[in-house]
Every structure is written in C-alpha cells, then in structure tokens.
Amino acid sequence: MIKYLIILLNIISLIGIKVLFPGGISVTSDMPETVKAGDEFVITVRIEKGDLSGFAKFTQDLPKTFTASLVNGSDATFSFKDNKVKFIWVALPLDQDFSFSYKVKVDVGVAGNFKVGGVFAYIFDNEKQTAELETKTLRVGTDAPVAKTEEPIKGYIEEEILDIKCKRTTSVIPGLVNTFKVELRIDKPEINGFAKVEESIPDGFYASELDSDEGIFSFENQLVKILWMALPDKKQFIVSYKLTAKNDVHGNQKISGVFSYLMGNESVKYFVAASTIFIERDNGEDVPTIIIADDGGDFKEKEVAAAPLVVPEPEPEPEIAPEPEVEVETVAVIPEPQTDITYKVQVAAGHKPVDNTYFAKKYNLQEDISIENHQGWIKYTFGDFGVYKDCRDKRNVVWDKNKISDAFVTAYNAGKRITVQEALMISNQKWYN
C-alpha cells in the first residue's frame, strides 16, 4: 500500500511540474491527439507571462498538407504564409496570462504521426528570450490503413534570404575637435520585429545618441547598442550617434558592428564592414590630420621621412683668400601662390637639403621636385592636382614604380599647406584609400 502511495505521489509531482523560462514565462498548448484526414482541429496556446510587456512573437511551421486560419489572436497580428504560422505582438496584452488559437485543416489523403511544437519569443531585460512549447504528437489517419510516417512540425522558421543591408558612414563634425558623426543606413524589407545594432567603439572614445529612430540607445563598456522591440515601419531608415575622442587618442582606431534581427525565432546577424578613423599624432598644428575610411584600412604617421636622404660629404676645396663676406639668399624651387585647393605628392622630408636630381638618380623619379620649409623640415613634393583622386593615383604609381613606399598626399589652400581632411571638406571631394 505504501509502495503504491509513493508511486502515486511521484506521478502527481511529475504532472505538476511547470517549466518556467526567463522572466517566469510558461507556455502550454491544447490540441487533440488524433484527427482524420480532411478534418479541421483547433490549437490553443496559453501564455503565463506575469508583468512581461512589449514585443513578442509565436511561430510554428506546418507540413505542406496543412493550412491554418485565425480563431483568436489576443491583439496579435496573425499570418500564415509558406506554411508558417506567425503571431506578432507589438505590445503584449496587459493580462498576466492570455490565450490565442488558430484552426488547422488537414488535406484529404494525409496519414502519419506529426510532432507539433512551437516557440514563443519575447524581450526580457533588453535581451531576446525564447520559450519552447512542449512537443506533442498528432496522429492523422484515413479510413483505409496506411503506412505511418514521421514528420516534425518545427517550432522555428528557417532562415530566409532577404536583401538586408547595413552601411556605416563616418564624418567629422565641423567646428568640433576630434568629434565624429556615425550614421548607419539600414535596408530591411519585410523585417519589422525585434532587432538591435551593436557597435564596438575603440578605447578613448565616448558615444552619445543623435537619432535612434524609435530605438533604445545605450553606451556601456565601449559598446553602442540600439534596440528595437519592433523595427520602424519603413524599408529603409538611418540612425546616428556622436563619437568624441580624448585629446591623447591617435593612430588607427577601428569601429566594428553587427545588425541582428529575428527571422522567425532565429537570430540572424549582418556584420557591418569595419570603419577606420586615423588621427595623426599631435604635430603642433591647430587641427590634427584625420583620415576616415568606412571600408577599413590602416594608415601611417606622415611626419616620418618618406625616403632616407643620404648626401655625400663635399670634397675638400683648395684654400682661397677670403673675399669680403656678402650675404647670399638661398634659392630653392618654391611653389607659386595658388588660389584654389590643390594636392601634391610628398616623397621625402629631412633636415639637410639635397639636390633635385637626387630622386631621379636614386629612384628614377622623373618629376619636377619642389622644396618646402615647413615646421622645421625640408619637404620634397611634386605635382599640382585639382582632384584628390588624381593625386592619390599618382602616389600609388610612386609606390609601385619608384619604390618610395612612404610617399603620401598633401593638400594646399591658396598655396598654404592644410590637412587633406580640411581640403576634402572645403572642396567637397571624396576620400579614397
């Protein structure tokens, strides 16, 4: 007698077990165990959610021989497409527990056993959570005996290939030092549910919100996060934030990110191409040189001599009686004042002057070299380009043909040397790597 009582208590305890998911969520369903081919039946799903609110979704795949229609949606948007059942709540009902139901029709001639499951996806503590419905077996039969088959009804939606795009554009905010605007343009046809953007920000930068387009912005542990319970109802939209760098930040700084969204109950990730912000080390100028590449890349500090300048020591001259000392002005090839934005290629910098033929002899560089005295350096440049890209192309030729690997582009405004970034902004030209 005691033995049977213990068995009974164990059975009762097993029946009473309720699986709770994060946030105290419980999901159960009510459906028949057997149906006849050609018949209809109703599946009712009960959600016990407590105080949970916000976006949520229930999904289920059905076999191709099944069709579904709405009975009671409990304020959800119902859809059945490509044999996928979907209930979407932009905001869950206020009740602590609620039910929804749908009708399923089985085609004539279908027979076999089918595993029926489902997944309820929701947001808890700003993170996506899933609660899986207990899998049940549905037996479908006909009047004539048929061989049994097993086909699971999946509780998730297979990943669909959609034309999802997310592109980052980074720019300097005029009038502010080391301050940048980062924009993310998101193209997301047919995606309207939960999504988030996560951007990894380099150390020494602080991020603040500009425009999150209905999203929730946060910045913590060098991670920018924009979260949507439900994406904006448009195929394309733009979000933006501001980055401010500390004064001691310099060199190559990279931003990487990912746009994540729900496809059914599966999280799909779109990785955004890395962006590079190059900030030149403080060189005494009012505005540091800044280069931005939204397709990645690395850059070098530019005040290093592009090519080693080796000048042979002059041979001893015969001693000649001194002539009266006359002050002679050193003559160098100085570029004429210019009135527009222009670009040149700098091939070297040093503290000792060399003859212009040095580069032709050593590097076979057949260009008219100009000499500039700038910030205590003697700098050697050539060219007079009105378009940055043309100068960039010439620099690449110097890299490949003349093997001056540290040659780089310089910029001028009315003959005065300025940063390339300033020149691009003034002339409204695009930067190319």
CATH code, domain with 372: 3.30.70.1070
Mean pLDDT is lowest, of 11-25, 265-279, 355-369, for 11-25
Q: What is the pLDDT of residues 233-262, one digit of tens each?
A: 888 999 999 999 988 888 888 898 889 887
State whether 38 and 148 are in the same domain: yes
Q: Total domain count for the chain?
A: 3
Domain boundary residue among 100, 128, 153? 153
In this prediction, residue 142 has a pLDDT band, given cuts at 50, 70 and 90, of low
Question: How large is the average pLDDT for residues 342-362?
Answer: 80
**In the prediction, which pLDDT does 9 show?**
39
State whether 136 and 170 are in the same domain: no
- Higher pLDDT: 275 or 320? It is 275
**In the prediction, which pLDDT does 372 show?**
83
CATH code, domain with 235: 2.60.40.740
For the entire predicted model, the pTM comes to: 0.39
**In the prediction, which pLDDT does 107 show?**
82
State whether 213 and 283 are in the same domain: yes
Question: How large is the average pLDDT for residues 416-433?
Answer: 80
Given a cut of 50, whether residue 42 has pLDDT beyond it is yes
Provide the domain limits for residue 268. 165-293
Q: What is the 3-state secondary structure (H, E, C) of the chain?
A: CHHHHHHHHHHHHHHHCCCCECCCEEEEEECCCEEECCCEEEEEEEEECCCCCCCEEEEEECCCCEEEEEEECCCCEEEEECCEEEEEECCCCCCCEEEEEEEEEECCCCCEEEEECCEEEEEECCEEEEEECCCEEEEEECCCCCCCCEEEECCCCCCCCCCCEEEEEEEECCCCCCEEEEEEEEECCCCCCCEEEEEECCCCEEEEEEECCCCEEEEECCEEEEEECCCCCCCEEEEEEEEEECCCCCEEEEEEEEEEEEECCEEEEEEEEEEEEEECCCCCCCCCCEEEECCCCCCCCCCCCCCCCCCCCCCCCCCCCCCCCCCCCCCCCCCCCCCCEEEEEEEEEECCCCCCHHHHHHHCCCCCCEEEEECCEEEEEEEEECCHHHHHHHHHHHHHHCCCCCCEEEEEECCEEECHHHHHHHHCCCCCC
